[in-house]
Each structure stands twice: as structure tokens, then as C-alpha cells.
Amino acid sequence: MLRIENCSKSIHDFEILRNCNLELESGKVMGLVGVNGAGKTTLLKCIMGIYDFEGKITLNDQIIYENENVKSKVIYVQDSNIFPKDATIKTIIELYHQFYDFNESLFRNYINRFHLDENKKISTFSKGMQRLTALCFAFAANPELLLLDEAFDGLDPKSRLEIKRMLISELEESNMSVLISSHALRELEDICDDYAILDKHILLEGNVTESMENINRIQVVYDKEVDVLNRLIDFEVVDYKQTGNVHVVVVRGDVEAIENKLREDHPVYYEKLNVSFEELFIYSNKEDQ
């Protein structure tokens, strides 16, 4: 388990993180989401031990910072190419054997799947191919904790699907924990068990499925004037829009109880609309403002 306790970080007196607390269970995938500048990359670098910080971060009750034995069980895939300018896949394989429990057979299976040339300089690859290379190395290093910063950035749709399949396959074979930072929230929806919304500190965290089931977006149409907000006064209304007699309301709570209230005025049309993970993030930000 990854445990973050009261993590704070400032750079040149500018506060980036404030008292962050977070837990990620073994074998789970968590999406770390937030607006630009919220501190997502900084938090990942604190977890990896690249930055010093106030607070405590542990992996299976062992402190990560300045602990090389624990760090060898953590892989961090950054949002930019970190390989040396003249490095090839072949030369990086040798390094990974030195520092990680590297499964070269699995790795070669991956690079063959994506047709990556092991003798070509990685710096000459496209951004998407560089990202694929880094992810292939990460999966084959058998980490206990995998940190992915903008995991799907630069990947074409086919490669994104393949990476998701690789990730799911690795999770089935191991007890690896994965923390994914991404702006592409729709890409996280079908692979994340849990989420955390960050803006200097953790605003909200929870289970993706449970949270999406608890937030309801409803479109209702009446043939008369109805005060929908007054009808829902006992519920937590997150968002509301009205165009004529068409009302679209986003509200937390038991969907049957909400429906019963809205049907008291005999609507001519009623529909519960799907809520995406991206919309969950937007509505959560609205609540905090």
C-alpha cells in the first residue's frame, strides 16, 4: 500500500502542495486528476523521492525517500523523454537489468507488438513512440508501484487501447499499484478503481464507480412552470440549467427518491443521463468553489 501523510512542498517559497493525505491499496489503479498547476507532477516526484518534502510517504510501511531498496520497486514514467540522447532500447535494457527485477522476455514481447526498433536511438522516435518505449520498460520492470504522468499523451487510439490492455494484464498477474496523472479524464474512466482530485491538497477522493452512481444528471420536461430547485431542496444540487420547460439538473443522492420528487409535478418527459468521469471532476470542482 502507498500511504501519503501530510505531504507539503514549496519551491522558492511558492506553495505547491499542502498537507496531502492519500492511500492507494495494492492491486488498485487510482486516477490523480486536477487542473494545470494543481501539483500533480510535483506529488508524483515527491512519491518517487526526486523532491524532498515535509510529511511522510511510505510503500508497504517503508519510507521511500532516500531508500534505494524501496525505490527499486517504484517506476516513474514522466511526461517527457528521460532517456539519454544517444541511448537505444538495447543499451537501456542493460541498465534495467542492473536496477530492477527486469523481465526481458516480457519486454521483447511488448516491443515486438509495437514494432519498436531496439537498435535505433530513442531520441529519434516520435513522442508517442518514446512514451510507448518508456511504458514497455515500466511494465517489464515488475514494480510494486507504478507512477504514470500523462500516461496516454501523444499516443494514437490503437496504442492507447494496447497500453490499457497491457496494464490490465499486468494487474491480473501481479499486485502492482498504479497511480495515473492525466488530463485525458475519459481515458481513465474504464481503468481506474479510485480517484483523487488534487488542488494543492486532496479535495476529494473515492471509488470511481460508486461516485458516478451517486451523482445523477437528469433531464425533465414539464408542460407548465415548475420550481425544480425548490422540489429538490432536500438534496445536494451540483448543477442546474433551464431552457424553457426543459430542466437539466445534476444532483447527489438516491435516484429513486429524486425521481419521485420530480414526478410529483407530472413531467411529460423524464430521463436519467449518463455522467462521465470527466463530468464528475467538473462537478466536484464546482462544489469546491
For residue 153, name the pLDDT band (cuts at 50, 70, 90). confident
Is 205 within the bounds of a domain? no
pLDDT score of 286: 60
Please list the residues that pair with 149 across neighbouring strands.
181
Q: Which domain holds residue 36?
A: 2-199
pLDDT confidence tier of residue 3, bands split at 50, 70 and 90: very high
Q: 277 pLDDT band (50/70/90 cuts)?
A: confident
Is the pLDDT confidence value at 36 over 90? no
**Lowest-pLDDT range of 146-150, 187-191, 252-256, 284-288:** 284-288
78 pLDDT above the threshold of 60: yes
Backbone angles phi, psi at 166, to 5 degrees: -60, -45
Neighbours of 51 (CB within 10 A): 17
Q: Cα dihedral sign for 136, 138, 143, 145?
A: negative
Q: Is 27 helix (H, G, I), strand (E, B) or coil?
A: coil
Cα 285 from Cα 127, distance rounded (Å): 31
Q: Summarize the confidence of residues 181-200 as an average pLDDT.
A: 83
Residues 129 and 166 placed together within one structural domain of the fold: yes
In single-letter form, the type of residue at position 272 comes to: K
Structure confidence at residue 282 as a pLDDT band (50, 70, 90): confident
Q: Are residues 112 and 247 in the same domain?
A: no
Q: Is 228 in the same domain as 87? A: no
Give 280's pLDDT tier (boundaries 50, 70, 90): confident
pLDDT at 151: 79
Q: How many CB atoms lie within 10 A of CB 44?
A: 22
Alpha helices per DSSP H over the chain = 40-48, 68-71, 89-99, 104-113, 127-140, 157-173, 185-188, 208-214, 228-231, 255-262, 277-288
Least confidently predicted of 60-69, 128-137, 184-193, 259-268:
184-193
Residue 49 · residue 34 · CB < 8 Å: no
Share of the chain above pLDDT 70, in %: 97
Is pLDDT larger for residue 155 or for residue 149? Answer: 149
Q: What is the C-alpha R_g of the chain?
A: 22
Q: Indicate the pLDDT class of residue 288, thresholds 50, 70 and 90.
A: low
Answer with the one of 150, 178, 199 that is the final residue of a domain. 199
Q: For residues 92 and 84, what is the distance between their CA atoms, to the nearest angstrom?
A: 9
> What's the whole-number mean pLDDT along residues 117-122?
94
pLDDT for residue 281 is more than 80: no
Q: Average pLDDT over the chain, rounded to whole?
A: 89
The domain that holds 272 is classified in CATH as 3.30.2130.10
pLDDT at 285: 63
pLDDT at 161: 86
Split into its structural domains, the chain has a count of: 2
The three three-digit cell numbers of residue 286, written as one number: 464546482
Residue of 198, 169, 197, 192 whose CA lies nearest to 180: 192
Q: How confident is the model at residue 211 (pLDDT cuts 50, 70, 90)?
A: confident
| Burial (CB count <10 Å: 0-12, 13-18, 19+), residue 278 | middle
Q: Are 218 and 248 in contact (CB under 8 A)?
A: yes
Provide, rounded to the nearest whole percent, the portion of the chain with pLDDT above 90.
60
Q: Which of 150, 168, 199 is the last residue of a domain?
A: 199
Residue 35 shares a structural domain with residue 152: yes
- Banded model confidence at residue 131, pLDDT cuts 50, 70, 90: confident
Predicted confidence (pLDDT) at residue 287 exceeds the cutoff of 60: no
Question: Is 164 a member of any domain?
Answer: yes
